[in-house]
């Protein structure tokens, strides 16, 4: 494999990097073994932080060359880290930077790639777009020969460090499917590919119609498919491809929503752009304050920026690499010929940083932003990698996948190594003190942190917000079969603004399968809003077993603070569950075992919604020592319209529970502190501090995004 190359655009003024002073060399920076700079040269030694006065030596020009020199240096025994310091500026990668087992450090002497002082180097997978022509109508246009020749295509554009979107219909909200149409013979029995629409919504004569994307929304996912044919008289569209399953959840029935994306004729609003691939012409409609000579425009080229490729067969891993203060930005995604039809969590998407067979990697104070898919992914053979004090922002997909890397099918994602090869399990990752925000911008079913068949991971003290599906998903076994997702800790996280009325059947924390040792505790969770059913705070689904959820504050959910579809002997205890809109606590399926223990919780609301919603027909659950209170003064009733006393006498549940005001300090303003004389303590409730949830250090880059990237329209209903 050839070493990756980095091409630099010299002299480009890029405020994206926001470099500090480049004239002073700090004491810390002088400790580096090699330096990389936008003013460097790969023919130089890399031992100097700045070019020599004579111009005959200085820093390197690329991380790729630095990687080669580090490998040469490590041929001799080393008892201290090898340090590469990267100066500020933007480095435009021609290929992903790839590390193999030969690039490994050691526990005592890791290889460290870090920002020089307080400068902010950016490793970009994009290319600056220049040479704009401004038309009399104010539109910017440029011809890109690589696009015209079929060598490059992209579906994202970043202008002045902001994501810009292609034209879509409708301009606000969604279209609605007007008729359920059986699948064509090509899709019958395997999925769905047709639906009815209202007159005028789709046009057979659209310019470059083959590049138009139809995005039908299902329940917990959305497909993205091109158009095969349009019957303009019957108002029926057949899609070029099909949804992933013949089951109803993947269907396109009357009443479901859809979007039409990348319609050339709809290009009419400032900030929109269109790529005419056959002509190779890019058109952008600028905002009033944008100048083609001063505004940096970047189009993504690479799907991956950083790869770790271990040798799984021979158990040779990439190990002991550290990255500090680096920014990775601008990854590509383009719709494949067969469309995009992932079953859940947009799990088949690639990632900007992807690892297989990598161990003891550390990312500290790094940024991944402006992605075309997920930010990071760790697959088979990855263990004990750490992401600390990082920021993953403006993500077309999700944040971090643990248990699967790269693209893949449903079977790939569900794969578990045989019992005699469990050393290949992806396990024991830490995501700590990190912001994961503004996700799902193109792929709405993506997840903040997804953990598949992977044990012993710790997700703690993170801020995860502004996603359209789930914040943290744990497990990938439906039912009670073999599962490797165990002993995972989801603790002290602040998760909010999840769902936003875009998808259904979702929650802040979502679990699947048998998970002994998994703990979800000390999280602050709020504003979870699904489109249809299922906007929950804590959601134990599909066989979730032996999970502990305790000391969580959950408030302002749509469908319930806690819901269990089905599972076994989960323990939901000592939580504050407040202000759900439709139910406070929900249970779905009856089974011949104890579903869960619900004990020492405070359930608090002020509307007329039921205390316990859906299915409580049997008694295969245990509720006790809970405190219930309706601050609106509405009567509190239990299933069957029972009072608490009747619920206790007739059903034997909540024997030691009470209805009483917990006397929160100011719950309307999110202050759920309890006085010492709260009746909750008489029931055994233990005080915990929700303010401890979330990041331990302040985010930097998240504050510098002047406007949250626009995503799917989801008006608060």
Query: For the segment 21-37, what is each residue's pLDDT rounded down to a tens digit?
Result: 333 333 444 589 999 99
**261 and 284 fall within a common domain:** no
**Predicted local confidence at residue 413, as pLDDT:** 87
**Predicted local confidence at residue 30, as pLDDT:** 52
**295 and 274 fall within a common domain:** yes
- Where among 247, 265, 283 does a domain terminate? 265
**Predicted local confidence at residue 5, as pLDDT:** 32
**261 and 380 fall within a common domain:** no
**120 and 151 fall within a common domain:** no
**Predicted local confidence at residue 130, as pLDDT:** 98
**Predicted local confidence at residue 26, as pLDDT:** 37
CA neighbor of 83 nearest in space, from 322, 269, 303: 322
d(CA 168, CA 172): 9
**512 and 389 fall within a common domain:** yes
d(CA 466, CA 377): 20
Tell me if 327 is assigned to some domain.
no
Write the CA distances from 276 to 263, 514, 636, integer angstroms.
10, 49, 60
**90 and 146 fall within a common domain:** no
CATH number for the domain that contains residue 194: 2.40.30
Write the CA distances from 592 to 492, 595, 639, integer angstroms.
34, 9, 19
Tell me if 310 is assigned to some domain.
no
**Number of structural domains the chain divides into:** 4
- Where among 242, 265, 288 does a domain terminate? 265
**153 and 54 fall within a common domain:** no
CA neighbor of 102 nearest in space, from 76, 71, 62, 65: 71
- Side-chain half-sphere exposure of 666, counting CA atoms within 13 A: 3
d(CA 15, CA 125): 17
- Name the stretches of the chain with pLDDT < 70: 1-30, 706, 713-717
- Domain of 285 in residue numbering reads as 128-135+142-167+267-299
Tell me if 249 is assigned to some domain.
yes
**246 and 285 fall within a common domain:** no
The dihedral region occupied by 381, where left means phi > 0, alpha psi between -120 and 50, and beta the remainder, is: left
How confident is the model over 57-96, as pLDDT tens digits? 999 999 999 999 999 999 999 999 999 999 999 999 999 9
Tell me if 314 is assigned to some domain.
no
**669 and 521 fall within a common domain:** yes
Tell me if 333 is assigned to some domain.
no
**Predicted local confidence at residue 11, as pLDDT:** 32
d(CA 252, CA 474): 28
Q: What percent of the chain has pLDDT over 90?
A: 91
**Predicted local confidence at residue 474, as pLDDT:** 98
Q: Are 435 and 391 in contact (CB under 8 A)?
A: yes
**568 and 677 fall within a common domain:** yes
**Predicted local confidence at residue 715, as pLDDT:** 54
pTM (2 decimals)?
0.95
Tell me if 331 is assigned to some domain.
no
Tell me if 328 is assigned to some domain.
no
CA neighbor of 517 nearest in space, from 439, 571, 443, 446: 571
**379 and 290 fall within a common domain:** no
H or E element in which residue 158 lies:
strand 157-159
Tell me if 87 is assigned to some domain.
yes
**570 and 648 fall within a common domain:** yes
Q: Are 497 and 525 in contact (CB under 8 A)?
A: no
**Residues 6+ positions from 428 with CB-CB distance below 8 Å:** 383, 384, 455, 456, 457
Q: Are 212 and 262 in contact (CB under 8 A)?
A: yes
């Amino acid at each position: 494999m050839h070493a990756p190359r980095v091409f630099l655009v010299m002299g480009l003024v890029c405020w994206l990097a926001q470099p500090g002073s480049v004239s002073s060399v700090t004491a810390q920076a002088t400790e580096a073994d090699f330096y990389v700079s936008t003013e460097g040269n790969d023919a130089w030694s890399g031992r100097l932080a700045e070019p020599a006065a004579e111009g005959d030596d200085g820093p390197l020009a690329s991380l790729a060359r630095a990687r080669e020199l580090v490998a040469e240096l490590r041929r001799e025994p080393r008892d201290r880290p090898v340090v590469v310091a990267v100066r500020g500026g933007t480095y435009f990668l021609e290929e992903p930077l790839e590390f193999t087992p030969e690039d490994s450090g050691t526990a005592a002497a890791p290889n460290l790639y870090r920002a020089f002082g307080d400068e902010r180097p950016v490793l970009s997978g994009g290319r600056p777009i220049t040479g704009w022509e401004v038309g009399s109508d104010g539109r910017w246009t440029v011809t890109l020969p690589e696009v015209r020749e079929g060598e490059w295509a992209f579906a994202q554009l970043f202008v002045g460090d902001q994501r810009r979107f292609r034209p879509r219909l409708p301009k606000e909200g969604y279209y609605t499917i007007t008729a359920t149409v059986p699948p064509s013979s090509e899709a019958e029995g395997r999925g769905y590919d047709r639906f009815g629409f209202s007159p005028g919504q789709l046009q057979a004569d659209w310019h470059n119609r083959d590049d138009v994307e139809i995005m039908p929304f299902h329940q917990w996912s959305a497909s993205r498919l091109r158009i095969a044919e349009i019957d303009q008289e019957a108002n029926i569209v057949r899609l070029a491809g099909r949804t992933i399953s013949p089951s109803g959840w993947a269907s396109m029935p009357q009443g479901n929503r859809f979007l039409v994306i990348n319609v050339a004729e709809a290009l009419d609003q400032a900030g929109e752009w269109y790529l005419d691939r056959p002509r190779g012409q890019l058109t952008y409609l600028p905002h009033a304050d944008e100048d083609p000579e001063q505004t940096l425009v970047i189009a993504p080229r690479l799907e991956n920026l950083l790869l770790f490729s271990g040798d799984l067969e021979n158990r040779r891993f990439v190990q002991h690499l550290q990255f500090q203060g680096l920014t990775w930005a601008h990854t590509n995604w383009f719709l494949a010929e067969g469309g995009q039809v992932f079953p859940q969590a947009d799990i088949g998407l690639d990632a900007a940083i992807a690892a297989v067979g990598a161990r003891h990697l550390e990312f500290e104070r790094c940024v991944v932003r402006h992605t075309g898919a997920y930010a990071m992914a760790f697959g088979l053979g990855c263990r004990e990698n750490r992401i600390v004090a990082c920021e993953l922002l403006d993500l077309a997909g999700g944040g971090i996948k643990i248990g699967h890397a790269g693209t893949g099918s449903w079977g790939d994602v569900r794969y578990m190594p045989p019992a005699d090869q469990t050393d290949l399990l992806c396990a024991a990752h830490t995501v700590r003190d990190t912001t994961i925000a503004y996700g799902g911008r193109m792929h709405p079913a993506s997840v903040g942190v997804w953990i598949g068949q992977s044990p012993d991971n710790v997700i703690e003290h993170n801020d995860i917000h502004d996603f359209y599906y789930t914040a943290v998903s744990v497990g990938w076994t439906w039912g009670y079969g073999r599962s490797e997702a165990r002993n995972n800790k989801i603790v002290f996280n602040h998760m909010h603004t999840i769902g936003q009325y875009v998808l259904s059947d979702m929650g802040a924390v979502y679990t699947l399968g048998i998970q002994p040792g998994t703990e979800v505790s000390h999280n602050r969770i709020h504003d979870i809003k699904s489109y249809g059913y299922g906007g929950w705070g804590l959601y134990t689904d599909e066989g979730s077993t032996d999970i502990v959820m305790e000391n969580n504050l959950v408030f302002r959910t749509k469908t319930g603070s806690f819901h269990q579809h089905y599972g076994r002997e989960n323990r939901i205890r000592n939580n504050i569950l407040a202000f759900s809109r439709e139910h406070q606590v929900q249970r779905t399926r009856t089974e011949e075992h104890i579903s869960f223990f619900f004990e020492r919780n405070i359930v608090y609301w002020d509307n007329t919604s039921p205390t316990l919603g859906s299915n409580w027909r049997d008694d295969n659950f245990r509720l006790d020592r809970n405190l219930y209170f309706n601050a609106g003064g509405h009567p509190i009733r239990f299933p069957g319209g029972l009072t608490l006393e009747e619920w206790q006498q007739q059903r034997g549940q909540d024997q030691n529970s009470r209805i009483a005001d917990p006397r929160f300090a100011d719950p309307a303003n999110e202050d759920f502190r309890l006085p010492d004389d709260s009746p909750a303590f008489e029931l055994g409730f233990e005080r915990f501090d929700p303010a401890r949830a979330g990041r331990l250090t302040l985010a930097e880059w998240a504050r510098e995004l002047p406007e949250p990237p626009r995503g799917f329209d989801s008006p608060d209903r």
